[in-house]
A and B are shown apart, each in its own frame.
Chain A
Amino acid sequence: MSTTVALPDARRTLGLARINWTLMVRNRTTMLYAFLVPLLPLALLFAVGDPEPTSGTAGLGSALLMALLFPGYYNLLSMFVTRRDELVLKRLRTGEVRDVELVASMALPGLSLVLAVLVLMVPIAAAAGFDLPANPVLLLLGTLLAAVTFAALALWTAAWTRTAEAAQLTSGPVMIVALAGFATPAVPDAVARWLELLPGAAVNELVRAGWFGLERGSDEATVGFWQTWLEAAPALGVLVAWTALALWLATRSLRWEPRG
């Protein structure tokens, strides 16, 4: 019997993801948000006089976070809620496709935009006179992990979002939590220590270590390739913890069809 279930889940997931990609591209507003919002902070890179790591982190970190929030988090949230309202998810779930494949197929288009923004960031940063990433592998894996975190947060938000319109409001908490992590340099140390536990701060830390090789709590680019992993480890841990928390909350209350 094991031979009869040999069909790779990848075929179903990618088949659906391709359709979701087509639909996302057809929607002009989504595409505008997807690229414009992350690219705006990158313009700041050209506005600073001296291309130093601190200003670079601010521009690149917020660009990455915007990509994670808009094409990543918000896109999945509104896609999930709209498809649920339209009974599309209910219909698909009568077939062979499994829940995890359905979610993955809706998250993949946004994820590919996040990666596109990450890749675009390299030549743009270089053009503004900034260094190339110190550890591209860490940056890529960290971004993938962060994308999973925000996808999980999108599912959790979808669990208590009633309609697609309501998503504009219900996305607020996650947006705030993500952006609050960016305020660490502006608040007292005692507060900053707590803010570091937020996913936005983790993304910022990832850029500091992965791109500029900065040591934690220092603005000196002193860390070598291998040591950047160690520096980024707490941030990666924060992302894993948020992913676990969001998935746990989501699986407890996620609905696949509108309330009756």
Chain B
Amino acid sequence: MTRTTTRTTSRTTARPAPTPAAPDPHAPALEVRGLRRTYGSGDDAFEAVRGIDLTVPRGRIHALLGVNGAGKTSAMEVMEGLSPGSGGQVRVLGLDPVADRAEVRRRTGVLLQRSGFVGDLTVRETLRMWAATVTRARPVEESLEMLDLARVADTRMRALSGGEHRRVDLACALTGHPELVMLDEPTTGLDPESRRAVWALVRRLRTEGATVLLTTHYLEEAEALADHVSIMRAGEVVREGTLAEIVAGHPAEISFRTPADEPALPAGVTASRDGDRTVLRCADLQPALTELLVGARDTGVVLELLQARTATLESVFLELAAAPAHDLEGATR
């Protein structure tokens, strides 16, 4: 399928006049209002991003979470200034990514979901090439060190493993000491050890004052890294907030093998059966679990294979992914 982006005038007309002078230094790192992106036109038109809002204050790690095809990359490309949106507004560090391109690029670092390098260049030559295009470049040796690439510095790019390739890509994204880093699936294809190393690096970026926007379809990545999460589904943001806010209201879960003598169930739980297990859902885990355990001790009931967990992003995510689209309408507001 040939994908061409349709341009409409709504973006340019909706946008305030480009700020000629210094932008607001306190502007959020990223501010997106009603962003839309359509591929194709006429009957073939497909709206990949359907009016999303996003505000990322400085110094925060924000994750766009969603299954493949949720519109994460399509949205990201507009924020990066690589593709025009078909509607809405994007401000990056208070600037317009297209009109103020030079300044935005100087202060941001981008990692594409898929990108390439010249196979005949070594890692060191690749980083040197990238440094030549950057205003305030990190020394190549420092980049090699930072991404643990010193060992392969003189290896040709075509001979690298997927993980090493990705780390070179990351090193390029960070070469210009960016204030805002936009990472599209930074750890996809990495082994668990490399993934943890990238997480540590992303946290270090935040410590040093940078803002990070990343997309991921790994729940544990969002849980491990993000201060704030936007869950995308079919081109819309269906949940947004801190992890605690997102899981709040979702029940915690206690389960155990159903014993011969039913134990007294704590107040305020809903019980159900899942095979030979009893599953209890409750709003507040600790009192419910205490009551259950005290009751079991007093009556001498043994709860085999006991499990208890608070609501996780996973449970929210699976619930959202399973819900029909129209059930989520109210959730965005």
A-to-B contact residues, CB < 8 Å = 1, 4-5, 7, 11-12, 15-16, 18-19, 22-23, 26-27, 83, 86-88, 90-97, 259-260
Contact = CB atoms under 8 A, between A and B. Distances in A.
Contact of A19 (B2, B21, B129): B129
A22 B21 CA distance: 41
Interface in B107-153: 110, 112, 114-121, 125, 128-135
Contact of B110 (A7, A12, A86, A95): A95
16 contacts: A4-B106, A5-B103, A15-B132, A16-B133, A19-B125, A22-B125, A26-B120, A86-B116, A86-B118, A88-B116, A88-B117, A92-B133, A93-B82, A95-B105, A95-B176, A96-B134
B115 A90 contact: yes
B14 interface: no
A92 B121 CA distance: 15
Given A95-B105, A96-B134, A97-B133, A1 B22 contact: yes
Task: For the complex of A and B, list the 8 residue pairs with the smallest distance between their C-beta atoms, beginning with the closest.
Answer: A15-B132, A87-B116, A91-B115, A94-B110, A86-B116, A97-B133, A96-B105, A19-B129
A95 B176 CA distance: 9
Contacts of B134: 95-96
Contacts of B22: 1
Contacts of A19: 118, 121, 125, 128-129, 132
Interface residues of chain B: helix, strand, loop or mixed (majority) = loop
B15 interface: no
A128 to B, nearest CB: 38
Residue among B2, B132, B134 facing the most chain A CB atoms (10 A cut-off): B132
Contacts of B82: 93-94
Contacts of B132: 11-12, 15-16, 18-19
B219 to A, nearest CB: 27
Interface string B1-43: 1110000000000000000111000000000000000000000
Contacts of B129: 15-16, 19
Nearest to B175: A95
A19 B129 CA distance: 7
B318 interface: no
Contacts of B135: 7, 96
B102 interface: yes
Nearest to A22: B125
B80 interface: yes
A230 B172 CA distance: 51
A94 B80 contact: yes
A116 to B, nearest CB: 22
Given A1-B103, A91-B112, A91-B172, 6 more contacts: A16-B133, A88-B117, A90-B116, A92-B133, A94-B110, A95-B130
A118 B133 CA distance: 31
A11 B137 CA distance: 13
B121 A23 contact: yes
A147 B21 CA distance: 40
Interface residues of chain A: helix, strand, loop or mixed (majority) = helix
A23 B80 contact: no
Nearest to A26: B120
A4 B135 CA distance: 10
Contacts of B20: 1
Nearest to A17: B132
Contacts of A88: 115-118
Given A90-B112, A95-B130, A83 B102 contact: no
Contacts of B116: 86-88, 90-91
A90 B115 CA distance: 7
B2 A86 contact: no
A97 B82 CA distance: 13
A5 B101 CA distance: 11
Nearest to A5: B102
A22 B1 CA distance: 37
A83 B118 CA distance: 7
Contacts of B176: 95-96
Nearest to A4: B103
B2 A260 contact: yes
B112 A12 contact: no
A88 B114 CA distance: 10
B117 A91 contact: yes
A27 B119 CA distance: 12
Contacts of B80: 94
A22 B125 CA distance: 10
B115 A87 contact: yes
Contacts of B103: 1, 4-5
B118 A23 contact: yes
A94 B180 CA distance: 13
B5 to A, nearest CB: 11
A7 B135 CA distance: 7
A26 B115 CA distance: 23
A98 B192 CA distance: 36
Contacts of A91: 112, 115-117, 169, 172
A15 B126 CA distance: 12
Contacts of B131: 15
B112 A1 contact: no
A192 to B, nearest CB: 43
A242 B169 CA distance: 39
